[in-house]
Amino acid sequence: MRHFSFLDQVLLHCDLARKTLLVQPTHHQRACPIKADDSDALSEKEKKHAAGLMRVNHAGEVCAQALYQGQAITARSKTLREKMQHAADEELDHLAWCNQRLQELDNHASYLNIFWYLGAFGIAIAAGCVGDRWNLGFLAETEQQVVQHLESHLGLLPENDVKSRLIVEHMRDDEKQHRQMAQDNGAAELPIMIKKLMQFSSSVMTRLAYYV
């Protein structure tokens, strides 16, 4: 198996960033939860609202790619890097599913995705440099907040938007597993102020991404 130097890894992740931001992701390892016969009878108002929520979810998956790639670069443990890469692959499925749903709703991804990506990548690098336990702690808290966010979206999506709901439910279940992976591998408990700061940053992103 080829050994990749730190520079090799940086270049590989730069290419992944390019694909995440500039290429409309349609490839996914797992089939999209949407089925051809799922009902999709939405009014224009409902479509616009659903698109705003799915744009937020898409932006969140852009951030997830940045987080996992940044943390994989700085992880000390080879086993941990592999687990993070596996989780990143599942997050890429989410990105493709959200993109597909936005297209079906005749809408677009956030125009601010490059800023979400760069911010998340920088935070991930910083967390990873502190050490694997804190790296995992940041990951576990991120996934905990994402699960809460997705569960809130299930209450906000139009009741008859079966397609978006199926995607969000599958994403939520995966995020729970990613959080458990981090906890099982020794995640540290983050200070309360760090958690509050993460919540504030997330609220800013979600409010902006809903519209832009």
For 119-148, letters b (16+ CB in 10 Å) and e give ebbebbbebbeeebebbbbbbbbbbbbbbe
Average pLDDT, the chain: 85
Q: Which whole number is the average pLDDT over 165-172?
A: 95
Give the pLDDT confidence of 86-115 residue by residue, as tens digits. Answer: 888 888 889 989 999 999 999 999 999 999
Instruction: Tell me the C-alpha to C-alpha distance, in Å, between residue 206 and each of 58, 92, 212.
Output: 10, 19, 10
Rounded Cα–Cα distance for residues 150 and 175 (Å): 9
Give the pLDDT confidence of 36-52 residue by residue, as tens digits. Answer: 666 678 999 999 999 99
Q: Residue 159 pLDDT more than 60? A: yes
Domains and CATH numbers, the chain: 41-211 (1.20.1260.10)
Q: Residue 179 pLDDT more than 70? A: yes
pLDDT value of position 129: 83
pLDDT value of position 1: 45
Rounded Cα–Cα distance for residues 45 and 134 (Å): 43
Question: pTM of the entire structure?
Answer: 0.86
Q: Residue 12 pLDDT more than 80? A: no
Instruction: Tell me the C-alpha to C-alpha distance, in Å, between residue 193 and each of 72, 189, 196.
Output: 25, 12, 5
18 phi/psi in degrees, rounded to 5: -60, -45
Residue 18 · residue 111 · CB < 8 Å: no
Q: Residue 139 pLDDT more than 50? A: yes
Q: Which whole number is the average pLDDT over 189-211?
A: 93
Give the pLDDT confidence of 57-95 residue by residue, as tens digits. Answer: 999 999 988 888 888 777 778 888 788 878 888 888 899
pLDDT value of position 9: 64
Give the number of other CB atoms < 10 A from CB of residue 104: 16
Q: Residue 56 pLDDT more than 60? A: yes
Q: Residue 7 pLDDT more than 80? A: no
Q: Residue 192 pLDDT more than 90? A: yes
